[in-house]
Amino acid sequence: MQVDTSVALMNASYQPKRTQADNDVLLKEQTDQFEAYFVKQILDISMKNESGLLPKDAGDKIYKSMYNDTMSNALSGNLGLSQMLFEFLKEGR
């Protein structure tokens, strides 16, 4: 028995055309994610200082990482780096 895969292969390569507004939304999401990554790196570096205020436990690094992830996602899109990068990349198209 032979299976005809020509229609499946034709549909697999089909990608609907995106409008300029769709591309802008996708680009803004990517620049926001980059800004979140950038802020997380800064938070990770700044939180390396060990202080004696909080006791160390087994999950200390995990909690700090989760806190930095949450803070970086909350701050992304609000610092201006994302908007500046978005405008730069948009005019380069």
What average pLDDT score do residues 55-76 get? 84
Note whether residue 8 is domain-resident. Answer: no
Higher pLDDT, 81 or 54: 81
Note whether residue 24 is domain-resident. Answer: yes
Closest of 13, 9, 30 to residue 89, by C-alpha: 30
Host domain of residue 78:
18-91
Note whether residue 7 is domain-resident. Answer: no
Q: Output 8-13 pairs: Cβ under 8 A, ≥24 positions apart.
A: none
**pTM metric for this prediction:** 0.68
How many Cα atoms occupy the beta-carbon half-sphere of 54 within 13 Å? 11
Note whether residue 12 is domain-resident. Answer: no
Confidence tier at 13 by pLDDT (50, 70, 90): low
Between CA 83 and CA 62 the distance in angstroms is 30
Number of domains in the chain: 1
Residues 6+ apart with CB under 8 A from 85: 31, 34, 35
